[in-house]
Amino acid sequence: MKAIAVRRGETSPSLVEHPRPEPGPGEALVRTLRVGVDGTDHGVLAGGHGQFPAGAEHMVLGHEAVGVVADPNGTGFEAGDVVVPTVRRQSNGPNEYFARGEPDMAPAGEYVERGIEGAHGFMAEYFTSPAETLVEVPSAFAELGFLVEPISITVKAMEHARASRSAFDWSPESALVLGNGSLGLLTLAMFREPFDRLYCLGRRDRPDPSIELIEALDATYVDSRETPVSEVADMHEGMDVVYEATGYPKHAFESIRALAPNGVAALLGVPDPWTFEIDGGALHRELVLHNKALVGSVNSNVGHFERAVDTLGDFPGWFLDDLVTGVYGIDEFGQAFADDDTTIKAAVEFGTR
Amino acid sequence: MKAIAVRRGETSPSLVEHPRPEPGPGEALVRTLRVGVDGTDHGVLAGGHGQFPAGAEHMVLGHEAVGVVADPNGTGFEAGDVVVPTVRRQSNGPNEYFARGEPDMAPAGEYVERGIEGAHGFMAEYFTSPAETLVEVPSAFAELGFLVEPISITVKAMEHARASRSAFDWSPESALVLGNGSLGLLTLAMFREPFDRLYCLGRRDRPDPSIELIEALDATYVDSRETPVSEVADMHEGMDVVYEATGYPKHAFESIRALAPNGVAALLGVPDPWTFEIDGGALHRELVLHNKALVGSVNSNVGHFERAVDTLGDFPGWFLDDLVTGVYGIDEFGQAFADDDTTIKAAVEFGTR
């Protein structure tokens, strides 16, 4: 079958011939509908994530998928069910994290991630997956279900961030999203309801489709070239929540200054090592004297996917129309990997329902 | 009346004559029994905290007090009740944080702190305090009740740290306390029950009374000159909890490396500004990929004090005997402020019950 993969030693995707998988016990065979592309995929292409599957000369890309069950293979699914797969799989035999439904909390070594690290992804005409890793979604989401995975990432991060503030009375009103990529914009849309005042930081010139979307969401665009993260609190206001989706490590630490008292920064970027100076004394003091928190968050589990399905259903149509700037057939997959200022969210379409 | 204070422009405590306070409406008059000394007091003497009370030429020291109600003044207390005062008071008119019993979460500008910032402390023969800031303790704690305040600091910090891990199944087993001062050792004793394996980091040579106490608590002493925080995970194990009580800002950031996956560092130090290099990329990546959290915590409220009273009652007598290395009368108060390797916890005694 056709698949989109990165070949060993290469840094751009290729169309490859890949064996069509046979479902094992407990697995369903899924016919792929669409697979989204995000910053993690670009990181995988650049070699910034993990290993290829053992012995493989290429790794099939893609971790944001929606598909339709082709062969239930004795699982509880029915042929035609629309499903979204989670990303992590056990790699080292059974472990407690997967057993209790929290693979997102498993430490390195206990998992592979499909399309990211050590396992083939979903950018192929078919994939197999254990039934417990497939989340059924309404058939109306056959087209946009590839957004469930990125939404679930924010669902999880915000559950952890909110939990960190649950030992006291906390009524957040303001939030700053760092990053105007697709995850940042999805998060901004998710933040419309819980927060009164939204800000989104990027470094783009107008006119720009992401800035237009930020403003259509009634958020304030903050140009980091004019207002660095460390000055946001002075120029705008202290933020009850900062959500970091840039992978720029100075933001992780500068977010302490952007927070209002008792605020929390959810960190999601996965940068490479980089040594730089910080005023660690002042940042440490500020974290303590104003009860601030930094919470790192990675991956998501079935519960987060299920709540993400509800979230996707709540998004207005105009937002989704503007967010998804392109859906490309297999033969034009390269456009889905474009990393330019006109692309917000793109996907490859392998089939239709 | 006699009081121990820091005079404007000085950095060591003095015995001063201070007006005996008259209780206002809703306030009780308390006859002071004992007041403990901790690192914050040394910080106040060094000028590292806030302002003196407006117009005052000295600030009475001390925030860790136990006393006995001398004049209930129409509050619900009875003369002879043994009480411990909380530290923060409203400074700027009523505010929501104090109204809901969470003065510990109030931002700068909304409070003063008795003996620390903007208000006289408790190191005097008498003090007054609003009834809602006085926590009654069993009369058996008339001698050691000055330990309730520092214990409450850890009660609060750990409530926030645990809350930050409440969005998933978390069963911490290992904990590292950074700092072998009195707060670190009190915390280590509090950690005996919830954790299986304890570590405490300091930089002292043997023989040393704090190292003896660490080992009597069945904890492993980690000499930071041999094993820096960043190497603790490799030399010993990754820690589910790190509790920072050193005020050394590199520890705040290096604690990320000392944590086990899904671990949390509670930060309590209040350092001065200090710029230094960190591998911010690697630390950010590690926070995210292993779902780690940093939680700053300051001060504590009545609920924390009440739970601290229970904790104090659970400590074994030998621990308290070894922890409190000196209780000094007013005329020898200087010894309570000694900052040497034989002093763990000292207090000034103003009276007995």
Is residue A146 within 8 A of residue A347, CB to CB? The reply is: yes
| Nearest CB partner across the interface for A273, out of B282, B297, B298 | B282
Question: Does any CB of chain B come closer than 8 Å to the CB of residue A291?
Answer: yes
Residues A188 and A123 in one domain: no
Dihedral, CA of residue B340, residue B345, residue B348 and residue B351, to nearest 10:
-150
Of the pLDDT bands very low, low, confident and very high (cuts 50, 70, 90), residue B157 is very high
Measuring CA to CA, which residue among B166, B144, B125 is closest to residue B29? B125
CATH code, B236? 3.40.50.720
Residues A10 and A67 in one domain: yes
Residues B238 and B210 in one domain: yes
Which are the contacts of A340, defined by CB distance < 8 A and separation ≥ 6? none
A95 is in an annotated binding site: no
Alpha carbon of B272: minimum distance to chain A alpha carbons (Å): 5
- Looking at residue A265, what is its pLDDT? 99
Contact criterion met (CB < 8 Å) for B163 and A164:
yes
Which are the contacts of A93, defined by CB distance < 8 A and separation ≥ 6? none
Hey, which residues 153-172 in chain B have their CB within 8 Å of chain A?
A: 156, 159-160, 162-169
Q: Give the best residue of A88, A248, A284, A292 to mutate against chain B (max B CB count within 10 A).
A: A284
Nearest-by-CA chain B residue for A48: B285
**What mean pLDDT do residues B5-32 have?**
97
CATH code, B58? 3.90.180.10
Nearest-by-CA chain B residue for A168: B102
Q: Give the best residue of B159, B166, B285, B292 to mutate against chain A (max A CB count within 10 A).
A: B285
Prediction ipTM score: 0.97
- Looking at residue B225, what is its pLDDT? 98
Nearest-by-CA chain A residue for B166: A163
Alpha carbon of B185: minimum distance to chain A alpha carbons (Å): 20
**What mean pLDDT do residues B172-194 have?**
97
Q: Give the best residue of A291, A298, A299, A304 to mutate against chain B (max B CB count within 10 A).
A: A291
In a domain, residue A148? The reply is no
Residues in chain A, pLDDT under 70:
none
Residues B197 and B324 in one domain: no
Measuring CA to CA, which residue among A350, A304, A266, A310 is closest to residue A88? A304
| Nearest CB partner across the interface for A285, out of B162, B270, B295 | B270
- Record the tokens describing residue B337, joined without a space: 């402020």
**What helix, strand, coil percent values describe chain B, rounded to 5?**
30, 30, 40
Cis peptide before B19 (omega within 30 of 0): no
Question: Does any CB of chain B come closer than 8 Å to the CB of residue A276?
Answer: yes
Largest alpha-carbon pair distance within chain B? 59
Residues from chain B that touch A245, judged by Cβ atoms under 8 A, are none
Contact criterion met (CB < 8 Å) for B108 and A287:
no
In angstroms, the CA A339 to CA B240 distance is: 39
Residues from chain B that touch A298, judged by Cβ atoms under 8 A, are 288-291
Looking at the DSSP bridge assignments, the partners of residue A112 are A89
With a cut of 80, say whether residue B234 has pLDDT above it. yes
Q: Give the best residue of A97, A166, A287, A289 to mutate against chain B (max B CB count within 10 A).
A: A287
Structural domain count, chain B = 2
Q: Give the best residue of B257, B288, B301 to mutate against chain A (max A CB count within 10 A).
A: B288
In angstroms, the CA A234 to CA B298 distance is: 23
With a cut of 90, say whether residue B339 has pLDDT above it. no
Residues B93 and B212 in one domain: no
Is residue A48 within 8 A of residue A6, CB to CB? The reply is: no
Place of tokens 């779902």: B291
- Record the tokens describing residue B153, joined without a space: 């600091």
Is residue B143 within 8 A of residue B153, CB to CB? The reply is: no
**What mean pLDDT do residues B279-308 have?**
98
Of the pLDDT bands very low, low, confident and very high (cuts 50, 70, 90), residue B29 is very high
In a domain, residue A289? The reply is yes
Percent of chain B having pLDDT more than 90?
A: 97
B171 is in an annotated binding site: no
Question: Taking the complete model, does pTM exceed 0.90, yes or no?
Answer: yes
Count how many Cα atoms sit within 13 Å of the Cα of residue A326 in the half-sphere of its side chain: 21
Tell me how many residue pairs between chain A and chain B have CB atoms under 8 A apart: 194
In a domain, residue B59? The reply is yes
Question: Does any CB of chain A come closer than 8 Å to the CB of residue B270?
Answer: yes
Of the pLDDT bands very low, low, confident and very high (cuts 50, 70, 90), residue B50 is confident
- Looking at residue A339, what is its pLDDT? 86
In angstroms, the CA B199 to CA B178 distance is: 8
In angstroms, the CA B91 to CA A228 distance is: 33
In a domain, residue B311? The reply is no
Residues from chain A that touch B281, judged by Cβ atoms under 8 A, are 249, 271-275
- Looking at residue A238, what is its pLDDT? 98
Sign of the dihedral through C-alpha A327, A8, A298, A278: negative
Hey, which residues 114-153 in chain B have their CB within 8 Å of chain A?
A: none
Is residue B120 within 8 A of residue A124, CB to CB? The reply is: no
Three-state DSSP at A335 gives helix
In angstroms, the CA A39 to CA A182 distance is: 8
Alpha carbon of A302: minimum distance to chain B alpha carbons (Å): 13
Residues B111 and B162 in one domain: no
Alpha carbon of A268: minimum distance to chain B alpha carbons (Å): 6
In a domain, residue B62? The reply is yes
Hey, which residues 231-260 in chain B have their CB within 8 Å of chain A?
A: 249-250, 252-253, 260
More confident residue, A237 or B54: A237
Measuring CA to CA, which residue among A35, A44, A15, A14 is closest to residue A324? A35
In a domain, residue B57? The reply is yes
Residues from chain A that touch B162, judged by Cβ atoms under 8 A, are 167
Sort strands B197-202 and B220-223 into parallel, antiparallel or unpaired. parallel
Residue-number span of the structural domain to which B68 is assigned: 2-136+316-349
Residues A72 and A35 in one domain: yes
Residues from chain A that touch B279, judged by Cβ atoms under 8 A, are 273-275
Indicate the DSSP class of residue B57: S
Sign of the dihedral through C-alpha A167, A171, A174, A175: positive
> CA angle A11-A16-A22, nearest 5°?
120
- Looking at residue B293, what is its pLDDT? 98
Report how far Cα B97 is from the mean position of its chain's Cα atoms. Answer: 20
Residues in chain A: 353
Residues B246 and B288 in one domain: yes
Measuring CA to CA, which residue among A252, A277, A255 is closest to residue B275? A277
Residues from chain A that touch B278, judged by Cβ atoms under 8 A, are 253, 275-276, 278, 280
Alpha carbon of A95: minimum distance to chain B alpha carbons (Å): 14
With a cut of 80, say whether residue B48 has pLDDT above it. no
Is residue A41 within 8 A of residue A115, CB to CB? The reply is: yes
- Record the tokens describing residue A248, joined without a space: 């720029």
Mean pLDDT over all residues of chain B?
97
In angstroms, the CA B171 to CA B310 distance is: 23
In angstroms, the CA A251 to CA A177 distance is: 11
- Looking at residue B240, what is its pLDDT? 98
- Record the tokens describing residue A206, joined without a space: 């107008």
Burial class (CB in 10 A: 0-12, 13-18, 19+), A19: exposed
Place of tokens 């645990």: B162
Question: Does any CB of chain A come closer than 8 Å to the CB of residue B58?
Answer: no
Residues B83 and B178 in one domain: no
Residues from chain B that touch A107, judged by Cβ atoms under 8 A, are 260-262, 290
Is residue A255 within 8 A of residue A178, CB to CB? The reply is: yes
| Nearest CB partner across the interface for A284, out of B252, B287, B292 | B252
Residues B292 and B320 in one domain: no
Residues A175 and A262 in one domain: yes
Is residue A347 within 8 A of residue A328, CB to CB? The reply is: yes
Which are the contacts of B345, defined by CB distance < 8 A and separation ≥ 6? B36, B37, B38, B147, B182, B185, B323, B324, B325
Report the 10 Å Cβ neighbour count for B49.
17
In angstroms, the CA A84 to CA A73 distance is: 17
- Looking at residue B99, what is its pLDDT? 97
Contact criterion met (CB < 8 Å) for B277 and A274:
no
- Got the DSSP string for B59-75? EE--SEEEEEEEE-TTS
Residues B267 and B220 in one domain: yes
In angstroms, the CA A172 to CA A341 distance is: 32
In a domain, residue B66? The reply is yes
Contact criterion met (CB < 8 Å) for A283 and B250:
no
In angstroms, the CA B60 to CA A314 distance is: 58
pLDDT tens digits, A13-35: 999 999 999 999 999 999 999 99
